[in-house]
Each structure stands twice: as structure tokens, then as C-alpha cells.
Amino acid sequence: MRSEETEFRGGPLDGRVIAVLVGATGKPPKVYRVPVPGEDGAPGTVLVYRLAPAGRPRRSRWRYEFDPEADAASGRLRWPWSHRTGRPAGGGGTDAGGGGA
């Protein structure tokens, strides 16, 4: 597999350049998760970085920016129009289509 030197911005990895595996198209994953073990039996945390354009050409075309408010457990992007977990995906149960006999 190929890898690309990718810069990290913000958070504990700020300024570091790490080799990240790239896909068949040459683009790194959209989300990069870094597990951090907890100390003395405390639960660990997961640092989440999101892919962003590098802005100006340096070592690579991409960089990762720290996202402190990311939901690391779900692994999905949170869009304003997406359904929240625990709510039905339908819209209230009324039949707006009408039709019938």
C-alpha cells in the first residue's frame, strides 16, 4: 500500500507529519482517529482529525485538522439534516400521498 506524508494541525499532534495510508485514488481517509490510552485504569479517549485541503502546496495536498467536538464513538459525520439516533426515520406516520379506493 502507498502512504503519503500528511501534516496534522491542532490538538496534541500539532505540527507533526505522519505517513498516512492512501486509497486507490491517492486520497487519505476523511477521518483519522488516534486512540489514547487512559492512565491508571482510566478509560482512554480518541482524538479525531478531519481531512482538509493543505491550502498551499507543501509536502502534500492534504492535511488533518483537529476536531475537538467530534463524536468518535459513531465514526460518522454529523450533518444537520441527518437523523439523530433513537428517533424514527419516518415523518410522523401520516400518509400524505392520499389515494385509495
> Per-residue pLDDT tens for 18-56?
999 998 888 889 999 988 888 888 888 888 999 988 776
Q: Does any domain span residue 37?
A: yes
C-alpha cell read off for 33: 482517529
Q: Does any domain span residue 88?
A: no
Its domain, for residue 60, covers 3-66
CA atoms of 17 and 39, how far apart (whole Å): 26
Number of H helices, E strands in the chain: 0, 5
Residue 9 banded pLDDT, cuts 50, 70, 90: very high
Q: Does any domain span residue 40?
A: yes
Structural domains of the chain, count? 1
> Per-residue pLDDT tens for 54-89?
776 655 688 899 988 876 555 555 566 766 665 555
CA atoms of 57 and 63, how far apart (whole Å): 11
Q: Does any domain span residue 72?
A: no
Strands (E) across 1-101 are located at 3-9, 17-21, 31-36, 45-53, 62-66
Q: Does any domain span residue 95?
A: no
Q: Are strands 3-9 and 17-21 parallel, antiparallel or unpaired?
A: antiparallel
Judge whether 10 and 32 are in contact, CB under 8 Å: no
Q: Considering the entire predicted model, what is its pTM?
A: 0.62
Q: Does any domain span residue 74?
A: no
